[in-house]
Amino acid sequence: MIQTRKIENIILSVITLCAAAIWVFPLYWAMVTSLRRESRVVSDSAGLIPDEFNLTSYIDAILNTRLLTWYWNSIGTSLIITVVTVVTSMMCAYAISQMRFPGRRLLYLVVLASFMIPAQALVVSQFILMNDMGLINTWGAIILPQLIVPVVIIVYKQFFDAVPKELREAVLLDGGGEYTLLFKVYLPLNWGITAALSIITFIGAWNAFFWPFLVATSESTMTIPVGITQVQDTFGVQYARVMSVALLGAMPVAVAYLLFQRRVTEAVMISSGVKG
Protein backbone atom coordinates (compact mmCIF):
# COMPACT_ATOMS: atom_id res chain seq x y z
CA MET A 1 0.00 0.00 0.00
CA ILE A 2 2.71 2.44 1.04
CA GLN A 3 4.85 1.12 -1.80
CA THR A 4 2.20 1.91 -4.42
CA ARG A 5 1.67 5.37 -2.91
CA LYS A 6 5.36 6.04 -3.36
CA ILE A 7 5.42 4.90 -6.98
CA GLU A 8 2.29 6.94 -7.65
CA ASN A 9 4.01 9.98 -6.18
CA ILE A 10 7.10 9.56 -8.33
CA ILE A 11 5.04 9.11 -11.50
CA LEU A 12 3.00 12.21 -10.73
CA SER A 13 6.13 14.25 -10.08
CA VAL A 14 7.61 13.13 -13.39
CA ILE A 15 4.42 14.11 -15.21
CA THR A 16 4.49 17.51 -13.48
CA LEU A 17 8.07 18.14 -14.54
CA CYS A 18 7.33 17.07 -18.13
CA ALA A 19 4.34 19.43 -18.27
CA ALA A 20 6.48 22.26 -16.89
CA ALA A 21 9.15 21.51 -19.48
CA ILE A 22 6.59 21.66 -22.29
CA TRP A 23 5.26 24.92 -20.89
CA VAL A 24 8.61 26.62 -20.70
CA PHE A 25 9.84 25.29 -24.04
CA PRO A 26 8.60 28.19 -26.23
CA LEU A 27 10.52 30.68 -24.06
CA TYR A 28 13.56 28.44 -24.02
CA TRP A 29 13.43 28.11 -27.79
CA ALA A 30 13.05 31.87 -28.27
CA MET A 31 16.14 32.36 -26.12
CA VAL A 32 18.19 29.73 -27.96
CA THR A 33 17.17 31.23 -31.31
CA SER A 34 17.99 34.77 -30.27
CA LEU A 35 21.53 33.79 -29.30
CA ARG A 36 22.34 32.20 -32.67
CA ARG A 37 23.66 33.76 -35.83
CA GLU A 38 20.92 34.42 -38.36
CA SER A 39 22.43 31.98 -40.84
CA ARG A 40 22.55 29.21 -38.26
CA VAL A 41 18.99 29.67 -37.05
CA VAL A 42 17.62 28.35 -40.32
CA SER A 43 20.31 25.74 -41.03
CA ASP A 44 19.68 22.01 -40.67
CA SER A 45 22.41 21.64 -38.08
CA ALA A 46 20.63 23.91 -35.60
CA GLY A 47 19.63 21.53 -32.83
CA LEU A 48 17.55 21.94 -29.72
CA ILE A 49 20.59 22.42 -27.48
CA PRO A 50 22.05 25.92 -27.12
CA ASP A 51 25.48 25.87 -28.77
CA GLU A 52 26.16 29.50 -29.44
CA PHE A 53 26.28 32.70 -27.44
CA ASN A 54 26.03 35.42 -30.02
CA LEU A 55 24.66 38.79 -28.97
CA THR A 56 24.72 40.33 -32.46
CA SER A 57 20.98 40.26 -32.89
CA TYR A 58 20.39 41.87 -29.49
CA ILE A 59 22.80 44.68 -30.29
CA ASP A 60 21.28 45.03 -33.72
CA ALA A 61 17.80 45.15 -32.17
CA ILE A 62 18.73 47.94 -29.81
CA LEU A 63 20.62 49.98 -32.40
CA ASN A 64 18.33 49.56 -35.39
CA THR A 65 14.87 49.68 -33.88
CA ARG A 66 13.22 52.25 -31.66
CA LEU A 67 13.10 49.81 -28.79
CA LEU A 68 14.42 52.36 -26.28
CA THR A 69 11.70 54.84 -27.25
CA TRP A 70 9.07 52.12 -26.83
CA TYR A 71 10.48 51.23 -23.41
CA TRP A 72 10.23 54.85 -22.38
CA ASN A 73 6.64 55.13 -23.63
CA SER A 74 5.67 51.89 -21.92
CA ILE A 75 7.27 52.78 -18.61
CA GLY A 76 5.91 56.34 -18.63
CA THR A 77 2.33 55.49 -19.59
CA SER A 78 2.15 52.40 -17.35
CA LEU A 79 3.46 54.29 -14.33
CA ILE A 80 1.06 57.18 -14.80
CA ILE A 81 -1.87 54.81 -15.34
CA THR A 82 -0.95 52.88 -12.19
CA VAL A 83 -0.51 55.89 -9.91
CA VAL A 84 -3.58 57.78 -11.13
CA THR A 85 -5.81 54.70 -11.15
CA VAL A 86 -4.79 53.55 -7.70
CA VAL A 87 -5.05 56.99 -6.06
CA THR A 88 -8.36 58.04 -7.63
CA SER A 89 -9.89 54.59 -7.05
CA MET A 90 -8.70 54.55 -3.45
CA MET A 91 -10.28 57.95 -2.74
CA CYS A 92 -13.51 56.94 -4.39
CA ALA A 93 -13.60 53.58 -2.60
CA TYR A 94 -12.99 55.31 0.73
CA ALA A 95 -15.92 57.65 0.22
CA ILE A 96 -18.20 54.77 -0.80
CA SER A 97 -17.07 52.61 2.09
CA GLN A 98 -16.82 55.10 4.98
CA MET A 99 -19.01 58.09 4.22
CA ARG A 100 -22.73 58.56 3.78
CA PHE A 101 -23.76 61.02 1.10
CA PRO A 102 -26.56 61.37 -1.45
CA GLY A 103 -25.76 59.32 -4.55
CA ARG A 104 -23.51 56.84 -2.79
CA ARG A 105 -25.50 53.75 -3.68
CA LEU A 106 -25.96 54.87 -7.26
CA LEU A 107 -22.22 55.47 -7.61
CA TYR A 108 -21.40 52.00 -6.33
CA LEU A 109 -23.95 50.43 -8.67
CA VAL A 110 -22.40 52.30 -11.60
CA VAL A 111 -18.95 51.01 -10.61
CA LEU A 112 -20.26 47.46 -10.37
CA ALA A 113 -22.01 47.80 -13.71
CA SER A 114 -18.93 49.19 -15.42
CA PHE A 115 -17.10 46.10 -14.20
CA MET A 116 -19.23 44.21 -16.71
CA ILE A 117 -18.84 46.58 -19.64
CA PRO A 118 -16.18 45.34 -22.05
CA ALA A 119 -13.91 48.30 -22.79
CA GLN A 120 -13.14 46.73 -26.18
CA ALA A 121 -16.69 47.44 -27.31
CA LEU A 122 -16.12 51.16 -26.70
CA VAL A 123 -13.03 51.62 -28.84
CA VAL A 124 -14.81 53.35 -31.70
CA SER A 125 -16.36 56.08 -29.58
CA GLN A 126 -13.27 56.37 -27.37
CA PHE A 127 -11.14 56.82 -30.48
CA ILE A 128 -13.44 59.54 -31.78
CA LEU A 129 -13.26 61.26 -28.38
CA MET A 130 -9.47 61.13 -28.30
CA ASN A 131 -9.38 62.47 -31.83
CA ASP A 132 -11.71 65.33 -30.91
CA MET A 133 -9.41 66.15 -28.01
CA GLY A 134 -6.44 66.14 -30.38
CA LEU A 135 -4.70 63.41 -28.44
CA ILE A 136 -4.08 60.76 -31.11
CA ASN A 137 -0.43 59.72 -31.06
CA THR A 138 0.18 61.17 -27.63
CA TRP A 139 0.57 59.59 -24.20
CA GLY A 140 -2.74 61.18 -23.23
CA ALA A 141 -4.69 58.99 -25.64
CA ILE A 142 -2.90 55.85 -24.49
CA ILE A 143 -3.44 56.68 -20.82
CA LEU A 144 -6.94 58.16 -20.47
CA PRO A 145 -9.23 55.19 -21.25
CA GLN A 146 -6.97 52.87 -19.28
CA LEU A 147 -7.56 54.84 -16.06
CA ILE A 148 -10.83 53.05 -15.39
CA VAL A 149 -10.15 49.73 -13.64
CA PRO A 150 -13.35 49.08 -11.64
CA VAL A 151 -11.89 46.07 -9.84
CA VAL A 152 -9.48 48.37 -7.97
CA ILE A 153 -12.41 50.25 -6.41
CA ILE A 154 -14.29 47.06 -5.63
CA VAL A 155 -11.31 45.45 -3.88
CA TYR A 156 -10.40 48.64 -1.97
CA LYS A 157 -13.98 49.00 -0.78
CA GLN A 158 -14.00 45.46 0.57
CA PHE A 159 -10.79 46.07 2.49
CA PHE A 160 -11.87 49.47 3.81
CA ASP A 161 -15.17 47.93 4.96
CA ALA A 162 -13.17 45.52 7.11
CA VAL A 163 -11.28 48.24 9.03
CA PRO A 164 -12.69 48.45 12.62
CA LYS A 165 -15.12 51.36 13.06
CA GLU A 166 -13.59 52.31 16.45
CA LEU A 167 -10.45 53.48 14.69
CA ARG A 168 -12.42 55.90 12.57
CA GLU A 169 -14.38 57.27 15.54
CA ALA A 170 -11.20 57.75 17.58
CA VAL A 171 -9.53 59.78 14.85
CA LEU A 172 -12.68 61.86 14.25
CA LEU A 173 -12.90 62.61 18.00
CA ASP A 174 -9.29 63.78 17.93
CA GLY A 175 -10.35 66.31 15.33
CA GLY A 176 -8.90 64.48 12.30
CA GLY A 177 -10.69 64.89 8.99
CA GLU A 178 -11.57 62.39 6.30
CA TYR A 179 -8.39 63.03 4.29
CA THR A 180 -6.26 62.45 7.41
CA LEU A 181 -8.16 59.25 8.03
CA LEU A 182 -7.65 58.02 4.48
CA PHE A 183 -3.98 58.86 4.04
CA LYS A 184 -2.77 58.42 7.63
CA VAL A 185 -4.86 55.47 8.77
CA TYR A 186 -6.64 53.55 6.02
CA LEU A 187 -3.85 53.67 3.47
CA PRO A 188 -1.04 52.58 5.86
CA LEU A 189 -3.30 49.78 7.12
CA ASN A 190 -3.72 48.58 3.54
CA TRP A 191 -0.26 48.86 2.02
CA GLY A 192 -0.35 45.18 1.10
CA ILE A 193 -3.52 45.55 -0.94
CA THR A 194 -2.25 48.80 -2.46
CA ALA A 195 0.87 47.00 -3.64
CA ALA A 196 -1.22 44.15 -5.03
CA LEU A 197 -3.58 46.46 -6.92
CA SER A 198 -0.67 48.52 -8.25
CA ILE A 199 1.02 45.38 -9.56
CA ILE A 200 -2.15 44.21 -11.31
CA THR A 201 -2.79 47.63 -12.83
CA PHE A 202 0.81 48.01 -13.97
CA ILE A 203 0.97 44.59 -15.62
CA GLY A 204 -2.35 45.26 -17.34
CA ALA A 205 -1.17 48.62 -18.64
CA TRP A 206 2.25 47.33 -19.70
CA ASN A 207 0.75 44.47 -21.67
CA ALA A 208 -2.19 46.34 -23.19
CA PHE A 209 -2.22 45.87 -26.94
CA PHE A 210 -5.53 46.68 -28.62
CA TRP A 211 -6.03 50.23 -27.38
CA PRO A 212 -2.44 51.52 -27.73
CA PHE A 213 -2.35 49.84 -31.14
CA LEU A 214 -5.33 51.99 -32.22
CA VAL A 215 -4.11 55.35 -30.94
CA ALA A 216 -0.32 55.06 -31.26
CA THR A 217 0.26 54.78 -34.97
CA SER A 218 3.59 56.58 -35.24
CA GLU A 219 6.66 54.71 -34.06
CA SER A 220 7.62 57.51 -31.69
CA THR A 221 4.51 57.03 -29.50
CA MET A 222 4.24 53.24 -29.60
CA THR A 223 4.50 51.14 -26.46
CA ILE A 224 6.49 47.91 -26.30
CA PRO A 225 3.66 45.49 -27.21
CA VAL A 226 2.74 47.58 -30.25
CA GLY A 227 6.26 48.55 -31.25
CA ILE A 228 7.70 45.08 -31.43
CA THR A 229 5.17 44.14 -34.08
CA GLN A 230 6.88 46.69 -36.35
CA VAL A 231 10.15 44.82 -36.15
CA GLN A 232 9.11 42.09 -38.54
CA ASP A 233 8.52 44.77 -41.12
CA THR A 234 11.98 46.21 -40.47
CA PHE A 235 13.89 42.96 -40.35
CA GLY A 236 11.78 40.72 -42.57
CA VAL A 237 12.12 37.07 -41.68
CA GLN A 238 15.21 37.34 -39.54
CA TYR A 239 14.17 35.17 -36.68
CA ALA A 240 17.13 35.68 -34.35
CA ARG A 241 16.46 39.41 -34.44
CA VAL A 242 12.70 39.08 -34.06
CA MET A 243 13.22 36.79 -31.05
CA SER A 244 15.77 39.17 -29.50
CA VAL A 245 13.35 42.06 -29.74
CA ALA A 246 10.48 39.95 -28.36
CA LEU A 247 12.58 38.82 -25.39
CA LEU A 248 13.86 42.33 -24.72
CA GLY A 249 10.27 43.54 -24.78
CA ALA A 250 9.19 40.86 -22.33
CA MET A 251 12.22 41.28 -20.07
CA PRO A 252 11.29 44.06 -17.59
CA VAL A 253 7.99 42.59 -16.42
CA ALA A 254 9.33 39.04 -16.53
CA VAL A 255 12.31 39.96 -14.37
CA ALA A 256 10.10 41.93 -11.98
CA TYR A 257 7.79 38.93 -11.73
CA LEU A 258 10.62 36.52 -10.97
CA LEU A 259 11.95 38.88 -8.27
CA PHE A 260 8.58 39.49 -6.61
CA GLN A 261 6.92 36.19 -7.41
CA ARG A 262 5.00 35.86 -4.14
CA ARG A 263 3.63 39.37 -4.31
CA VAL A 264 2.47 39.03 -7.91
CA THR A 265 0.87 35.67 -7.17
CA GLU A 266 -1.02 37.12 -4.22
CA ALA A 267 -1.99 40.20 -6.20
CA VAL A 268 -3.65 38.08 -8.87
CA MET A 269 -5.47 36.00 -6.28
CA ILE A 270 -6.73 39.03 -4.32
CA SER A 271 -7.91 40.99 -7.34
CA SER A 272 -9.91 38.07 -8.66
CA GLY A 273 -11.60 37.61 -5.31
CA VAL A 274 -10.44 34.11 -4.47
CA LYS A 275 -8.41 35.31 -1.53
CA GLY A 276 -9.07 38.14 0.91
Partner 1 sequence: MALRNKKRLRHNLIAYSLIAPFLAIFLLVFLYPTFKVIQLSFTNSPLIGDGEWVGLDNFRRLFADRLFYTSLYNNIYFVVLTVVPTTAIALGIALMVNRLKGRLQALILATFFLPYILPVSVVTEIWAWMLDVQFGVVQPAIEAVIGRSMPVFRNPQWVMPTIAVVTIWWTNGFNVLLFIAGLRNIPSELYEAAALDGATSRQQFMRVTWPLLWPVTTLVLTLQLILQLKLFDQVYLLSQGGPFNQSYVLLLMVYREAFQLNQGGYASAVALVLFVMIMVVSVLQFQLLRIGGRK
Interacting positions 121-140 with partner 1 (CB under 8 A): 121-129, 131
Map the footprint of partner 1 across residues 169-208, applying CB under 8 A: 177-179, 182, 203, 206-207
User: Which of 10, 11, 24, 59 touches partner 1 by CB under 8 A?
Assistant: 24
Task: Decide: is 118 part of the binding site for partner 1 (CB under 8 A).
Answer: yes
Cα–Cα dist 108/114, whole Å: 10
Member of 11, 27, 83, 170 binding partner 1 (CB under 8 A): 27
Report the residue number, 1 or 63, with the smaller CB distance to partner 1: 1
Helix 150-161 / helix 191-207 crossing angle, nearest 10 deg: 170
Among 6, 10, 11, 13, binds partner 1 (CB under 8 A): 13
Site for partner 1 in 34-63 (CB under 8 A): 41-42, 48
Nearest approach, Cβ of residue 227 and partner 1 (Å): 9
Q: How far is the CB of 56 from partner 1 (least distance, A)?
A: 17
What is the nearest approach in angstroms of partner 1 to the Cβ of residue 215? 11
Among 2, 7, 53, 102, interactor with partner 1 by CB under 8 A? 102
Q: Is 114 in the site for partner 1 (CB under 8 A)?
A: yes
Which residues inside 72-91 make contact with partner 1, applying CB under 8 A? 84, 87-89, 91
Q: How far is the CB of 167 from partner 1 (least distance, A)?
A: 18
Residue from 57, 145, 159, 194 that binds partner 1 (CB under 8 A)? Answer: 145
Nearest residue (CB) to partner 1, 165 versus 262 = 262
Site size with partner 1, rule: CB under 8 A:
94
Does 64 help bind partner 1 (rule: CB under 8 A)? Answer: no
For residues 264 and 108, what is the distance between their CA atoms, to the nearest angstrom?
A: 27
